Structure 1
Amino acid sequence: MEPFRVHILGCGSALPTMKHLPTSQVVECRGKLFMIDCGEGTQLQMRKSSLSFTKLGHVFISHFHGDHCFGLIGMISTFGLLGRTATLNIYAPEALNDILEKQIAFFCRDLGYEVKFHAVDTKCHQVIYEDRSLTVETVPLQHRPSCCGYIFREKPTLPHIKRDMIDFYQIPISQINNIKNGQDYTLPDGTIVPNERLVEPADAPRAYAYCSDTKYMPELHKLLDGVTTLYHESTYATDNLAMAEKYNHSTAQQAASVARDAKVKQLLLGHYSSRYPDERVLLNEAKQIFNNVRLTNEMDIIDV
């Protein structure tokens, strides 16, 4: 299977600590890099992780709280200093556009490449990016400012050729694509070889959902159909449920409830409040509801 990974660059919340950096992730899919959120220090984390600046073409910002976007202008500036020429696409709520334009005009004169802004309607569930192998769709969330999550979905692939059967029937290479697309093969004597004898089923498409800052949404799982791995913010444990409700955040147990109801295979926790020096309290609470859950940490690389 082609690589489909998530690189954790930062998994803390608004108050910096010596343990965690603000939120940022990079999704790696079939040789392309997609960034989700860009908290302070993100570009340094990319350096540490040996992720290629030049392969990053798209940045998805969930909302305009500083711990999710303060690192963006610094990274844009660095790309200019490195001589970037390729367009950098930014997807974010409309409110960020004016601020970003002013920052670029003030700090990044003669940038040398285009920063193209794509306004995201955080109230809609829709596809906002598509290429030959992947789609990215928005997931409306409920936070204090406009906020959305993102789902990265692989497109279905063609079935795998059974090489031994191709050799056995001496099928020419010119027919491989036809067979992958479902055709039977007719031998020179007129015998028809059924397609299912020549191929193995394609790999099931994978999907990664990133649910940024949000209060608990009991119906959220309905938008996560087919998701393989779910990241869901888990700022608080149940001892701070009142804080979660006040500031529109979620507890680890609430994140686990979404994972359970969405029937995902794996849950990732993050966006930890600085009040928890040991995040295992969040992990233990989540495991009471959903078993396959893990804490994210900086420099983690997680297979979707």
Structure 2
Amino acid sequence: MRFDVTILGSSSATPIFNRNPSAQVLNINERLFLIDCGEGTQQQLLKNGIKAQRINHIFISHLHGDHYLGLVGLLSSLHLYGRIRAMEIFGPPELKEILDIQFKYSQTNLRYPIEFHATQTDRPALIYENPDIRVESFPLEHRIPCTGFRFSEKNRLPKIIREKVEELNIPIDVIPLIKKGADYTDERGIVYNASDLTFAADAPKSYAYCSDTICNWKYIDQIRGVDTLYHEATFMNDMADRAAETFHTTTIQAAEVAKLAGVKQLLLGHFSARYRELEPLQEEARTVFPNSRLALEGQIFVI
């Protein structure tokens, strides 16, 4: 199963040094999930060869402009492209009012429905589920209500051993039952255990997104053990006071979160405009958590 994330934007507050505000696309088994939608997201989708029409789910962490000001433009463009399929949007309750007002005063009647789901900013919650994955939101602590998101694959059924199926001439309609643990009895009455006809599927993968937050450790359990964690690292550690003042996180703090939560890979993002060169941020984080990487625009990280 494909499971990767494409970084569209990783700048904080403003576009600068060819870095765009927050946005990324998570591809899970060829289903695309847009996480945050800062200014310029449409251009970044085009630049990275991602068709906006394939996106059916959008997750907005909070209502600071660098995380959602590209949303109205994207939804409007999809309308002009002739989209008719519903778009599901998950975000703060107030976002629904913002969208309604924008479309009201631009006299835009979208050709497609928006299914809006208000996120909970005071407690963790399961907000989306399909046969492959679960998506949970959890509160972060920023200047305004903000949520993180965790995308987790569900446990998958064992895989069938193709050679055994062909050797025993097992009917196709029996294979789903074997995957679910049923033994197979052939025409001669010989019983073959399901465990001998299958092998374990790949371990389920997981991805967590922590956009803007002060480092308060309260969300550790929600991100524990994920394969890849995207965590804001707006400032280097010499700016810790400024980070606390603005309810942001430093590189060292993000690395400490990753280490404490037992994640496998840390992606650093939401970089302050004060930093033209980003390598020092990565180097600093690696002093605490070696598998720290920069979430640079256009990069695809396999999870």
TM-score bracket, shorter-length normalisation: over 0.9
Using the alignment, how far apart are the partners of 1:131 and 1:145 within structure 2?
Answer: 30
Greater Cα offset, 72-81 or 100-109:
100-109
Is contact 2:103–2:109 with CA below 8 Å preserved after alignment? no
- The answer to whether 1:274 aligns with 2:277 is no
Mind listing any 5+ residue stretches in structure 1 that lack a counterpart?
none
- The answer to whether 1:159 aligns with 2:161 is no
Residue in 1 aligned with 2:237? Answer: 238
- Please identify runs of 4+ aligned residues in structure 1 that moved more than 6 A: none
RMSD: 1.3
Residue in 1 aligned with 2:211? Answer: 212
Give 2:139's aligned amino acid.
P
> Alignment identity in percent?
43
- How far is the alpha carbon of 1:188 from its aligned partner? 3.0
Give 2:297's aligned amino acid.
E
- How far is the alpha carbon of 1:226 from its aligned partner? 3.8
Residue in 2 aligned with 1:287? Answer: 286
Using the alignment, how far apart are the partners of 1:263 and 1:225 within structure 2?
Answer: 6
- How far is the alpha carbon of 1:301 from its aligned partner? 1.0
- Gap change, CA 1:110 and 1:174, over 3 Å in 2: closer
Greater Cα offset, 60-69 or 14-23:
14-23
Q: What's the TM-score, normalizing by structure 2?
A: 0.96
Using the alignment, how far apart are the partners of 1:160 and 1:299 within structure 2?
Answer: 34
Using the alignment, how far apart are the partners of 1:244 and 1:188 within structure 2?
Answer: 70
Is contact 1:229–1:267 with CA below 8 Å preserved after alignment? yes
Using the alignment, how far apart are the partners of 2:286 and 2:107 within structure 1?
Answer: 46
Give 1:12's aligned amino acid.
S
* 1:162-192, Cα deviation, whole Å (9 max, x unpaired): 1112223332222211111111222333332
Using the alignment, how far apart are the partners of 2:294 and 2:232 within structure 1?
Answer: 11
* 1:52-75, Cα deviation, whole Å (9 max, x unpaired): 222111111100000001101111
**How is 1:65-144 mapped onto 2 (pairs within 5 angstroms)?**
65-107=64-106, 109-144=108-143
Q: SS of the residue aligned with 2:91?
A: strand
Is contact 1:77–1:107 with CA below 8 Å preserved after alignment? no
Greater Cα offset, 218-227 or 249-258:
218-227
Q: SS of the residue aligned with 1:54?
A: helix
- How far is the alpha carbon of 1:114 from its aligned partner? 1.7
Residue in 1 aligned with 2:176? Answer: 177
